Structure 1
């Protein structure tokens, strides 16, 4: 019989993770690194589900077996390609019939099989429970264009624990935040990735996190993590406005002008009619520096407002003229003094 393990032990076990749910379930959210290995396609899963509701469990099982039966040989062959070491870890939605059936089949086919207790649903509960575990957090704050992301990367290279929420969300957290990046994950998948990352952190060591609002584009930071962020100490970096404008030009200089104009129109009311019109005119002229300078007026006010709502102590560090590496060294030194 396949071994059944809870998430902590499951992830420590060798082998590829096979998610035997339907492709639609997988796309909505999955364990990071898992490979979709569906027992039913989307249409087949819908048929079995309808049968279960209308005719009961026994008839649904019969229909499921009729659909899956012809695929059994292919399951084994496909698994051999994916897991040349014959080590596989399998889960479905609740750790029920789909994973148990595929587990039995692959074990019969010579694989060493591990099942996830509770399935994907159990994984979600496990991940959510981790977010409530206290973590020493240091918030890296600073107005738009201060280079916080680059400093976080430098801190990570220096051996510090870093949670890059914007990288996970594929978004920079502003109206312009999606430009030049891959599509965002679903909010469910955002939480899944966070769960796997959160499980790795040493609770006794500080974790650096960039100051963020509750939402990063379409992704929402779990409430348990956000509450810890709000109470954390804040190291706020500052740079000259000229440096900040230059960095924004570097980030968005290759973006399509029409996309930049569309992003500006989304904050038209908050930017103010006159300022928004002037920004769009600068963009059409190709003067990204002047446009960025005007846009900073809005984002500086937004940042200051969000910062005032946090209860953590704020420590100022001026990094004007410094590279990301030198700035990281400075903020690291500051954190050691706290």
Structure 2
């Protein structure tokens, strides 16, 4: 049994990790291939931490063994045993490769299962992820820009050298960008980005032109700095094609995703609330009078979609929202970066241009 120190290989190859940290720690930051099977839950960890501060390490260790004992101990060992059987090439991981992963390793060994751990734990993996991003993003970058609905994300996903930042962030980058999956913590987003950058070594990276944040996730400073220095290819799509693409993505696929997650009735309510929230988030920028007008059209479109199943009625509020808000805002930003533009054309033109590269 060899404990792991090749952190980049763990990230690059999606090596399974049995992460024995408490759920609250896991939620703050985790590796892409990690499964959270804690040695102690949040309240148990808090009690042990308080004991450590008041009475020292030995007293805290004794309390930990008292809290995780008997049937509870058996349940947690059983969960680890199942995970070990499912992921025989994996590793145990705790915060720093200290007592928790060693205790889990010892309890498994008592069941005749020899399972290695990550030396240095999550902290070492996290540092490796930060350094990997800094190093890998130094390769040349090309950004894909264009107004909302131009198909930028589709273009990036279609290229072997594409890094789908919005997919990693679980957000589409606008006030309507929320997906049915909750966003990851900032650290987890950065860890997923590092893993994606480690998987291939292209001549250049292809990234979507993004702002400093994608929903609640912020791009690492080094990534934003490199993007600001990088050339740009712009997708110019006819307005009608953009509307149709957005209709399919926001009003068809999104509704389907909510219903699949929540069921017909609850899913519909969640979908309607998602659209209302997106419009409400930009009400001050729209002006309250325009916001009220578009809200009335949104409610009418929702009623029509619920009645007939057709989503074209949403164009009554989406089209003016693009023409009056999103398009002018993006074109203003694009004008400031005109010298960086290397090519512009339709979705097909840009696809062909990228293929020729």
Query: Which bracket does the TM-score occupy, shorter chain normalised?
Result: 0.7 to 0.9
Q: 1:312 to 1:206 in 2, by over 3 A?
A: farther
| CA distance in structure 2 between the partners assigned to 1:136 and 1:6 by the alignment | 26
Could you give the per-residue CA deviations for residues 139-177 of structure 1, whole angstroms, max 9, x where no partner exists? 01001111112222333xxxx211111111111111111
Q: Aligned pairs, how many?
A: 324
Report which of the two has the higher share of strand. 1
Corresponding residue SS for 2:116: strand
Alignment partner, residue 231 of structure 2 = 233
Give the drift of 1:52.
Answer: 0.6
- Counterpart contact for 2:157–2:163, Cα < 8 Å: no
Report which of the two has the higher share of helix. 2
Could you give the per-residue CA deviations for residues 125-147 of structure 1, whole angstroms, max 9, x where no partner exists? 11111121112211010011111
- Is 1:247 aligned to 2:245, yes or no? yes
Give the drift of 1:40.
Answer: 0.8
Equivalent of 2:340, from 281, 295, 313?
A: 313
| CA distance in structure 2 between the partners assigned to 1:75 and 1:2 by the alignment | 23
Give the drift of 1:217.
Answer: 0.9
Corresponding residue SS for 2:191: helix
Corresponding residue SS for 1:116: coil
| CA distance in structure 1 between the partners assigned to 2:38 and 2:122 by the alignment | 14
- Is 1:142 aligned to 2:146, yes or no? yes
- Is 1:182 aligned to 2:153, yes or no? no
- Is 1:298 aligned to 2:334, yes or no? no
Q: 1:104 to 1:10 in 2, by over 3 A?
A: farther
Corresponding residue SS for 1:317: strand
Q: 1:4 to 1:189 in 2, by over 3 A?
A: closer
Give the drift of 1:77.
Answer: 3.4
Give the drift of 1:49.
Answer: 0.1
| CA distance in structure 2 between the partners assigned to 1:327 and 1:150 by the alignment | 14
Which deviates more, 221-230 or 60-69?
60-69
Q: Map 1:43-58 onto structure 2 (within 5 A).
A: 43-58=43-58
TM-score norm. by structure 2 comes to 0.82
| CA distance in structure 1 between the partners assigned to 2:14 and 2:325 by the alignment | 50
RMSD: 2.6
Corresponding residue SS for 2:325: helix
- Counterpart contact for 1:86–1:111, Cα < 8 Å: no
Corresponding residue SS for 2:68: helix
| CA distance in structure 2 between the partners assigned to 1:13 and 1:139 by the alignment | 26
| CA distance in structure 2 between the partners assigned to 1:98 and 1:311 by the alignment | 54
Which deviates more, 234-243 or 99-108?
99-108
Q: Map 1:168-179 onto structure 2 (within 5 A).
A: 168-178=168-178
- Counterpart contact for 2:344–2:350, Cα < 8 Å: no
Could you give the per-residue CA deviations for residues 281-317 of structure 1, whole angstroms, max 9, x where no partner exists? 3223323113112111211122234435659721232
| CA distance in structure 1 between the partners assigned to 2:300 and 2:231 by the alignment | 42
- Counterpart contact for 1:2–1:103, Cα < 8 Å: no
Alignment partner, residue 119 of structure 2 = 117
Q: Map 1:1-338 onto structure 2 (within 5 A).
A: 3-10=3-10, 16-70=16-70, 73-84=74-85, 86-133=88-135, 134-155=138-159, 160-178=160-178, 180-202=179-201, 204-254=202-252, 256-286=271-301, 287-296=313-322, 297-308=324-335, 313-319=340-346, 326-327=348-349, 329-333=351-355, 336=357
| CA distance in structure 1 between the partners assigned to 2:13 and 2:165 by the alignment | 27
- Counterpart contact for 1:171–1:181, Cα < 8 Å: no
Gaps in structure 1 of 5+ consecutive residues: none
Corresponding residue SS for 1:232: coil
Q: 1:298 to 1:13 in 2, by over 3 A?
A: closer
Give the drift of 1:14.
Answer: 9.5
- Counterpart contact for 2:235–2:350, Cα < 8 Å: no
| CA distance in structure 1 between the partners assigned to 2:36 and 2:274 by the alignment | 34
Give the drift of 1:198.
Answer: 1.8
Give the drift of 1:183.
Answer: 1.7
| CA distance in structure 2 between the partners assigned to 1:69 and 1:148 by the alignment | 53
